[in-house]
A and B are shown apart, each in its own frame.
Chain A
Amino acid sequence: MTQNRPWIPYLLILPSVVFLGLLFIVPLVQTIWLAVSEDGAPSLANMQRMVTDINFMQSVRNTFLLTIVVVPVQIAIALAMGTMVAKIGRGRETILWIWTIPLGISDLAAGLVWLSILQNSGYFNSLLFSLGVISRQASWLSYQTPVALFIAIAVAEIWRGTAIVMVIIVAGLNQVPKEFKEAAEIFGAGPWTRFWKITLPLIRPALQSALILRTVLAFEVFAVVYALGGRNFPVLVGEAYNWQNQNQNYSVAAAYAVLIMVISLAATLVYLKAFKVDPERLP
């Protein structure tokens, strides 16, 4: 069917190629050029301004710390969810639906949800108060309590972002043939051995794409931070936003954007290399 009219597939993909060219490739090049030029000539002035900014080191550190803490916890919870749900028959659909609800929740909404719990007269303080841990309202989200603020943001991110990892991992687990598990059981492998030696290697592709997706998103963290801590907790995208909207300096904002892109690309390449998926070992 392809011989007589070979142009058909090209016609079908053309609109999306043009679209992505105009709104993905062009802005990508523009961002890079904005970041490394000044008045139309190549220059590292913007990079320099970014690096010497008072919030720069802090935002780099905060973003990396958040990613390092949040992503592994999300993967662990998602794996736990996946293995738990595989063991039950009735009620499986409902439980999966409940666990996927955060998939539809934006980072801004997640921040606001946890703000209602962690604000001074919120539910968390009420709980601590009734347990006798604190005697009056404690504040967790101010610049004086950076560690508590960090934990609050991490919890909100874990709460929201685990659903997507869970969906990818459950989709991966569904593709593992039952026979593998049964064979391992016959040969006497315990549940722990089965998990590490059978399940985990077989869902490597799913793990890889979950890790790439989540890590790229984690470096983009912004609204959840803003909702919980305002500007008390600088992160990379937040700085880009401030340079763009408050300072109206598009070039330094672009420099931040380039930095975030480089980090995201580097993380993706690391995952691709670390999880080299051998097609012959797939089910």
Chain B
Amino acid sequence: MGLINYNIEKYTPQQLVIIPLALLVVSLILLSLNMVTTGMPVKPGIDFSGGTAVTLDTSDTSDQLKAVFAAYPLTEVSEGVNNGKFLKFGSMDDAKFRSLTELISQKYPNAKIDQIGESFGKTLQQQAVLAVIFSFIGMAIVIYLSFRTFVPATAVVLSAFADMVMTAAAMNLVGIPLTLGTTAALLMLIGYSVDSDILLTNRVLKRQGKLTDKLKGAFQTGIIMTSTTFAAVTAMLIVSWLGSVQILMEISAVLLIGLVFDVLNTWLTNAALLKWYVQKDGGK
């Protein structure tokens, strides 16, 4: 796509990393602030904190719903399009939950209910944290093994890390909770993010030619890759938004945010580190 002219020739690596670095620092601060105040870097959804999530198809307004569920610990009502309503409840005991399901099946037979107990949520959370850590380590191992040179491999791993951290921070700002679905999306980002990084590194290190041309060529391919993924995920977001499919909506929103940061981290962070590495060695 010839629309964007990617030319980083006139900038030094230091100038290039300054924006992503600043963003990364801000993101890390945001996440640690959250960690200190809530105990989790990203606000956990009911999958991890426990509680009940209900999706309804009703023309009742939020206020009407609040009145209907006044006897239950309703914490949040949000609206989708086409009468989709998303309700969240805090923890309640078995008896209360049974009466809630009874009320829902009576009044709103067209519903989806998900309830996670607090201790189960905690177990899920521990496992999710482990999954993220293992995934990241696994990814790093593959990258180091396949590149076998320290700086380029570290650049890729660092970009992936920055992607995840920035996306997680953005989730807090936008108000997307960390659920099983969004955890999966974050892991998916590891895969997406290294895609374009690997392409970039390969082109720069293994091809002959001027660095600027190689970067330009890699960018042409890379940006198309990101646009196709972006297109597929946007399609998913639009359809799931129209159909009030919350889990798909959250997954695709996180992927979209992540892809934007991926563009930034691949073509500024990773490219800058590569440029520095190649110039330091006198170019290959």
Query: Are A and B a genuine interacting pair, yes or no?
Result: no
Task: Show the binding face of B for A, using Cβ within 8 Å.
Answer: none
> Interface residues, chain A, CB within 8 Å of chain B?
none
